[in-house]
Each structure stands twice: as structure tokens, then as C-alpha cells.
């Protein structure tokens, strides 16, 4: 197959780099997947490496009411009759030569997973990537006042030993697969080591969550042996948690359920069904995965 949608801009000198992957889409709750990659790109002052053209990978036209179809369309801004911006889905690679990292941020494709992933493994081949890290999140019964838990799957049993010191549990799951799962299947076929680092996020918190992004970033920094200061991210996440706690306290019913959730978390009751909280969240239109 001709890989004609991939534009490589630079050929940096990388020595057995690691590839970090973040995707907009299904496993980007609280913007943890993309938010972590964006933060690292800015913090490490990573430079643009390559760009993957979006055509053929995404739904742009979806039948149904305009409100639904609008979710799938590229975004545009027009002023005085002149188009100022046209934003199609992005798929971009960056690199940090000092730390031997390649960082990818993109939108999970709707079509042609095999072709899309072929391009990612083309980058791996061209630059000698030795290990891949997929970052994701799932909504769960986790209090916002506690460090979120990590779940992990790996392409190789030998990877597990190096992760145990980071408090990572290995996931049991059956159901719909994400692009990360397909990437791991392909990584095994390509003889590349890969792990998916998934954090559980509070189901009752919507939108950007710097606390969860900080937790994932700190874990990655430790696993990868990076030497970077995260004080700015900690300050942002502390302020976020303070404001969120104030909002929760203003909703007595939710505050009581979060208090019970904190008790179970502190007692390491991880498998509780918490049926009443699930039902309460569902009544509010919030799904727990």
C-alpha cells in the first residue's frame, strides 16, 4: 500500500524512541488522553515531526437532525463573509530529541482503522520506535478528591514487572474495542512492545480535568524516567479541585454520595456496585462505564 497521506517534515536523530499516543474520542473522558499529550508537547517544547491527512478516515455527513450531524462536521469561522478558519480532524506527530520521544495527538478514526494504523507503524519503522504508550480514560465510581486509579493492558507479559511499582492494576474487560486495543494487536504483530495506560475518572465530572491529567502525567514521567518539573500542573489541578469541591458541597445529595464514595475508596472497596450512585448519575444523564 502507498502511504501517501503521511507528510514527514523533519528527520531528527532519535535513538530508540518511545511513542506516546493520545486520541480525541471514546477514551478521552475529562480530556485526559489528549490533555496529557498536549501538556507534554508544550512542556518539552516538542517540535512538529509529521502530519497525517484526515481524508477517508472520518464521518463528515451523518443522517438525522442538525444538532447531531454538526458533531461530525469540521469547524469553521467566517467573519464579514471571509473564511477565517477551517478545522478538520488533526493527526499530528511531534518529537523531543533530548528525551527520545515521539508524541502523537489525533482523532480516533471512524473508517479504515487498518490503513490509519499502518501510518502510525510507518513512523515507528522510520524512526526506530521500541515501545508504544497509549493513554486513555474511562468514567468510573471514583471520587474527585482522591488520586484516580490506573488500569493497564500490555502486549507482552514481560512488561508487567516494570509497572507494578507504579500502583497499576491489570484490566479485565469484555466489550467494544477502542483504537488503542487494535493498535496493541498490531503492535504484537509488528514485534513492538506496547501498553495502554487507562485512568478511571469521576463520572460526575464533565469536561477538562487537570487533576486527572496531572496524575497520568506524573505516572508517565516516572515510567519514562523524564526529568521535568510539574509544579505548574499541580497548581492548576489544586485550584480545579478546590472549585469543584465547592460546587459539590452546594449540592447536598451529590455531596453525600461523594462522601460514601470516598469511604469505599479509602477502604479499598474497588468492586462495589454503588447502585444508588449509578442510578442517580444516570438520572442526571451521566453514564458510568
In a domain, 74, yes or no: no
Residues 6+ apart with CB under 8 A from 128: 14, 15, 16, 17
Go through the chain and tell me how many residues it has: 289
Contact (Cβ atoms closer than 8 angstroms) between residue 106 and residue 24: yes
* Cell matching residue 49: 515531526
Are 42 and 213 in contact by the 8 Å Cβ rule? The answer is no
Task: Return the exposure string of 140-155: e unless at least 16 CB atoms fall within 10 Å of the residue's CB, then b.
Answer: bbbbbbebbbbbbbbb
| Domain annotation covers residue 274 | yes
Q: Is residue 83 part of a domain?
A: no
Question: Quick check: is 242 in a domain?
Answer: yes
CA distance 206 to 223: 28
| Model pLDDT, residue 264 | 76
- Model confidence pLDDT, tens digit, residues 217-276: 999 999 999 999 999 999 998 998 888 888 888 888 777 878 888 877 777 655 444 556
Whole-number mean pLDDT of the chain? 87
Reply yes or no on whether the pLDDT at 161 is more than 90.
no
Which residues pair with residue 137 across a beta bridge?
A: 28, 199
More confident residue, 32 or 253: 32
pLDDT digits (tens, 9 = 90+) for 82-96: 999 998 899 999 999
Q: Are 49 and 12 in contact (CB under 8 A)?
A: yes
Q: Specify the pTM.
A: 0.87
Residue 20 covered by a domain: yes
Question: Rounded mean pLDDT of 38-45?
Answer: 96
Domain that holds residue 146: 6-54+89-283
> Model confidence over 190-209: pLDDT tens digits?
999 999 999 988 887 888 89
Is 1 among the domain residues? no
Q: Is residue 32 part of a domain?
A: yes
SS3 148: coil
The answer to whether 27 and 175 have CB atoms below 8 angstroms apart is no
Q: Total domain count for the chain?
A: 1
At 19 the three-state DSSP class reads: strand
> Domain containing 244 — which CATH number?
3.40.50.10900
Tell whether 84 is covered by a domain: no
Amino acid at each position: 500500500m502507498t502511504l501517501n497521506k503521511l507528510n514527514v517534515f523533519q528527520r531528527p536523530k532519535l535513538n530508540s524512541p518511545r511513542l506516546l499516543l493520545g486520541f480525541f474520542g471514546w477514551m478521552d473522558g475529562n480530556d485526559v488522553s489528549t490533555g496529557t499529550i498536549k501538556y507534554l508537547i508544550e512542556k518539552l517544547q516538542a517540535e512538529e515531526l509529521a502530519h497525517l491527512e484526515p481524508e477517508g478516515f472520518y464521518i463528515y455527513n451523518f443522517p438525522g437532525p442538525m444538532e447531531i450531524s454538526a458533531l461530525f462536521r469540521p469547524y469553521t469561522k467566517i467573519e464579514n463573509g471571509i473564511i477565517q478558519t477551517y478545522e478538520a480532524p488533526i493527526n499530528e506527530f511531534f518529537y523531543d530529541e533530548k528525551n527520545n520521544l515521539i508524541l502523537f495527538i489525533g482523532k480516533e478514526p471512524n473508517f479504515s482503522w487498518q490503513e490509519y494504523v499502518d501510518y502510525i507503524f510507518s513512523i515507528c519503522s522510520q524512526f526506530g520506535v521500541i515501545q508504544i504508550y497509549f493513554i486513555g480514560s474511562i468514567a468510573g465510581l471514583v471520587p474527585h478528591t482522591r488520586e484516580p486509579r490506573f488500569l493497564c493492558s500490555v502486549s507482552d507479559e514481560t512488561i508487567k514487572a516494570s509497572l507494578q511499582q507504579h500502583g497499576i492494576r491489570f484490566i479485565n474487560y469484555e466489550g467494544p474495542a477502542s483504537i488503542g486495543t487494535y493498535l496493541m494487536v498490531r503492535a504484537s504483530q509488528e514485534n513492538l512492545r506496547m501498553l495502554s495506560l487507562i485512568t478511571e475518572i469521576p463520572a460526575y465530572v464533565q469536561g477538562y480535568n487537570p487533576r486527572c491529567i496531572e496524575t497520568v502525567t506524573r505516572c508517565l514521567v516516572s515510567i519514562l524516567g523524564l526529568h521535568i518539573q510539574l509544579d505548574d500542573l499541580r497548581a492548576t489541578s489544586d485550584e480545579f479541585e478546590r472549585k469543584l469541591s465547592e460546587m459539590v458541597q452546594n449540592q447536598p445529595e451529590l455531596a453525600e454520595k461523594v462522601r460514601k464514595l470516598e469511604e469505599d475508596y479509602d477502604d479499598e472497596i474497588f468492586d462495589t456496585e454503588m447502585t444508588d450512585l449509578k442510578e442517580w448519575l444516570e438520572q442526571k444523564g451521566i453514564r458510568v462505564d
